[in-house]
Amino acid sequence: MKIAVLPGDGIGTEIVAEAIRVLNVLDLNFEMETALVGGAAYEAHGHPLPEATLKLAKEADAVLFGAVGDWKYDKLERQFRPEQAILGLRKNLGLFANFRPAICYEQLVGASSLKPELVAGLDILIVRELTGDIYFGQPRGRRTAVDGHFPGAEEAFDTMRYSRPEIERIAHVAFQAARKRDKRVTSVDKANVLETFQFWKDVVTEVGKEYPDVALDHMYVDNAAMQLVKAPKKFDVIVTGNMFGDILSDAAAMLTGSIGMLPSASLNASNQGLYEPSHGSAPDIAGKGIANPLATILSAAMMLRFSLNQTEAADRIESAVKQVLASGLRTSDIWSAGTTKVSTIEMGDAVVAAI
């Protein structure tokens, strides 16, 4: 078994280092190989996703990813910007199924912007399609408008699209995930405006017939954004497209107050996967040793469970994290009066000790 380790930029290197220490203490039988990605790779090799990094990722059973990006790359041409590495990995590895749990940890209820009673016990799973939609649709670019309000004017455009098998496979993923949870799927679309999402709704409805034990409902994306704010606990599994999923999963993660704690997994059809924290590279706190490594450590646990078939080791990490939280240790992002503030490394130490 081989893990490609791509720490990336900003706090990426600090948090991935802790996840690796945790993996090492489990004494499992796998190889890890590290490579540059994002801004770090651009600086060393002139590209955010160098050939060698992509090759390593493709050959590995799983990718453990930190985070990429920094304001200093904002002025680069799009193809050289750090985020392109993420998009390139998703596309080249065919990672179409993104799992983003939005969980409110019992001890962190107070850290949510929402009132405690609205988030205590919150446990939603957002299943976001990750290789289709307007992210990759062709054609796209600039041209002279031929219709619209200002024919003859300069315009930019993109293509949103989903094919039937793309929708079917992500729907199956969502229904199967729901079976292991509260057996409810909410499919989020904008069928009242978009052809793509009328089709999405139709296909998800058809796939749903194969899962009579799972309740399916449909919600417009604007309404879903409202319901997430109003009563997030009403959701179980949300399944949606790449663009809507980008927006809703970030909103949901932030709602929990636990964003520094939330892992994510992006899988392809052969369960090869990329695992990364739900938060970003946080260049403002990079190098200070204060970032929260728990989302990355929990991403490593997801990796063991989903791609490496090491359920027991995954369980051990997850209970170690719970134990550490229960003991009152907190990095500064989740610190509150009465708890003990620790550094990135101290948090890693604590998880290692708990294992």
Ligand X SMILES: CC(C)[C@H](C(=O)O)[C@@H](O)C(=O)O
Which are the catalytic amino acids? 135, 190, 222, 246, 250
Q: Closer CB to ligand X, residue 41 or residue 320?
A: 41
Closest residue to ligand X, based on beta-carbon distance: 83
Q: By CB under 6 A, is residue 269 in contact with ligand X?
A: no
Q: Closer CB to a second copy, residue 221 or residue 237?
A: 221
Minimum separation from the CB atom of position 224 to a second copy (A): 8
Q: Closer CB to a second copy, residue 88 or residue 348?
A: 88
Query: Of 274, 257, 244, which Cα lies nearest the Cα of 334?
Result: 257
For the chain, how long is the longest CA-to-CA vector? 66
Pattern 9-48, binding to ligand X, x per CB under 6 A? ----------------------------------------
CA atoms of 259 and 278, how far apart (whole Å): 7
Q: By CB under 8 A, is residue 111 in contact with a second copy?
A: no
Q: Is 98 annotated as a binding residue?
A: no
With CB under 5 to 8 Å by kind, the binding choice for 113 among ligand X, a second copy, none is: a second copy
DSSP reduced 3-state for 17:
helix
Query: Of 102, 101, 139, which Cα lies nearest the Cα of 119?
Result: 102
Q: Is 283 annotated as a binding residue?
A: yes
* Per-residue CA distances from 199 to 191, 217, 241 (Å): 8, 15, 12
Q: By CB under 8 A, is residue 219 in contact with a second copy?
A: no
Minimum separation from the CB atom of position 77 to a second copy (A): 10
Stretch near a second copy under the rule CB under 8 A, chosen from 16-24, 252-260, 331-339, 343-351: 252-260
Q: By CB under 8 A, is residue 236 in contact with a second copy?
A: no
Q: Which of 165, 180, 209, 337 binds a second copy (CB under 8 A)?
A: 165
The type of residue at 313 is: A
In the region spanning residues 59 to 78, those forming contacts with a second copy, defined by CB under 8 A, are 78
With CB under 5 to 8 Å by kind, the binding choice for 162 among a second copy, ligand X, none is: a second copy
Q: By CB under 8 A, is residue 229 in contact with a second copy?
A: yes
Spatial contact of 1 and 272, defined as CB atoms under 8 Å apart: no
Strands 2-8, 62-67: pairing kind:
parallel
117-124: long-range pairs with CB below 8 Å, 24+ = 118/231, 118/232, 118/233, 119/232, 119/233, 119/255, 119/256, 119/257, 121/233, 122/232, 122/233, 122/255, 122/256, 123/181, 124/232, 124/235, 124/236, 124/237, 124/238, 124/252
Which residues are part of a known binding site?
90, 100, 128, 222, 246, 250, 280-292
